Amino acid sequence: MIRITQQRAKCIGCNACVEAAKYRWRVSRKDGKCTLIGAVQKKGFFSVIVEDDEEVANRIAAKNCPVRIIKVETLHATSPPKQSLQN
Ligand code: SF4
């Protein structure tokens, strides 16, 4: 799983992220800024957790964002539950 985060207030609506991952980004008709589809907002940062198959495209989006407001993090799987040592 990966977490994609966007600092939306600083978006300039250039469309670069949409070109990289159009299923995850859309320019809003209301304010011209890009919306991270499926994201929840917390203190001005929008974030969403998605499957690994979106990683490459969204890393390109982050790299191509001219104002550097997209972050992509790999989330490590949690440890498997401890097994009992008793037979
Ligand atoms: S690439 Fe960055 S600045 Fe451009 S629309 Fe996407 S989030 Fe906004």
- How many independent structural domains does the chain possess? 1
Contact status, residue 70 vs residue 11, Cβ threshold 8 Å:
no
Contact status, residue 35 vs residue 26, Cβ threshold 8 Å:
yes
| Block mean pLDDT (10 aa), the chain, length 87 | 98 98 97 98 96 98 98 83 60
- Coil, strand or helix at 31: coil
Between CA 41 and CA 55 the distance in angstroms is 20
Which alpha helices (H) appear in 1-87, and where do they start and end?
16-20, 55-64
Question: Does residue 87 form part of some domain?
Answer: no
Question: Does residue 61 form part of some domain?
Answer: yes
What is the pTM for the complete model shown?
0.87
| E-only strand ranges, the chain | 2-7, 25-27, 34-36, 40-42, 45-50, 70-74
User: 34 is in which domain, residue-wise?
Assistant: 2-74
Question: Does residue 57 form part of some domain?
Answer: yes
CATH of the domain at 46: 3.30.70.20
- pLDDT for 77 equals 73
Task: Name which residue sits closest to atom 5 of ligand 1, judged by CA.
Answer: 13
CA 75 – ligand 1 centroid, Å: 23
Question: Does residue 27 form part of some domain?
Answer: yes
CA 82 – ligand 1 centroid, Å: 43
Question: Does residue 44 form part of some domain?
Answer: yes
15 lines ligand 1 (CB under 6 A): yes
Pocket test for ligand 1, best of 14, 18, 19, 33 (most atoms within 8 A of CB): 14
